[in-house]
Amino acid sequence: MKKNLSFSVAILLLSGSLAFTSCKSKQPIAQPYPNYTTSPNSAAAPRQQQRVEEEIDECEKESMKIEGDLLRAYGSAIDYDKDFARQIAVTNAKAQMASDIQALVTNIMKNYRGTTRKDQTQTSSSDTQQDITSIAEEVITRTSVICSKRYKLADGRYECSVCISMIKSMEEEVGGAVLTDDQKAGVQFEAEQFRKAYQEELARYRTKKEQQ
């Protein structure tokens, strides 16, 4: 009787052990946390680059047109005060025009002197620069706003853009400065050579504006 009891207990223990082993073997094996050395999407097909064409403001388009030798310039500004934004835009446009005038007049004078003075006496560069600066300052006082646009931005500010144009040719001022310069240097003013230099540099300036 004791032998049968002992045998039964052994059978139960063995069955329990097998059941425990079986259940244990069914537990999921822990997987290590993935260590990405590159982006998970690195194997995906590369995204195509999108090209978005920028629209040119109407006033900027107007600034690229030149009638005769009446230069134009563009300016823009952003501010919460719409009137102040427009004032700054006009100021920026005048500053741009003054810079363009100084560069243009400088080239006109260099072109003219290269064909007339050769090795003759030159006036001082400081006097010439003063003349050019004075011309620019005088010309920008005779400008008018020919285009003005205002946009309301999402943050409550205003963006204003303007195009200004000269209302009178500057050829007379430039010619007068060159004539005075020639008189100081003791050489004869060559009107035809000056007019040719003026038109040549104006054509170069117009081409450069069209290519912008």
The residue behind tokens 């003219």 is 112
Does any domain span residue 145?
A: yes
Does any domain span residue 90?
A: yes
Q: Of 18-22, 96-100, 105-109, which gets the smallest average pLDDT?
A: 18-22
Does any domain span residue 199?
A: yes
Q: How high is the pLDDT of residue 70?
A: 94
The pTM of this model reads 0.70
Domain residue limits at 81: 58-207
Q: Of 48-52, 92-96, 174-178, 199-203, which gets the smallest average pLDDT?
A: 48-52
Does any domain span residue 115?
A: yes
Does any domain span residue 62?
A: yes
Does any domain span residue 11?
A: no
Does any domain span residue 105?
A: yes
Strand order in the sheet with 143-152: 72-79, 158-166, 143-152
Q: For 107-159, how does the pLDDT look when each residue is reduced to its tens digit (9 = 90+)?
A: 999 889 887 765 555 555 667 888 899 999 999 999 999 999 999 999 999 99
Residue 16's alpha-carbon distances to 2, 61, 67, 174, 185, in angstroms, are: 21, 91, 104, 112, 121
Does any domain span residue 96?
A: yes
Q: Report the number of distinct structural domains present in the chain.
A: 1
> How far is it, in rounded angstroms, from Cα 162 to Cα 77?
9
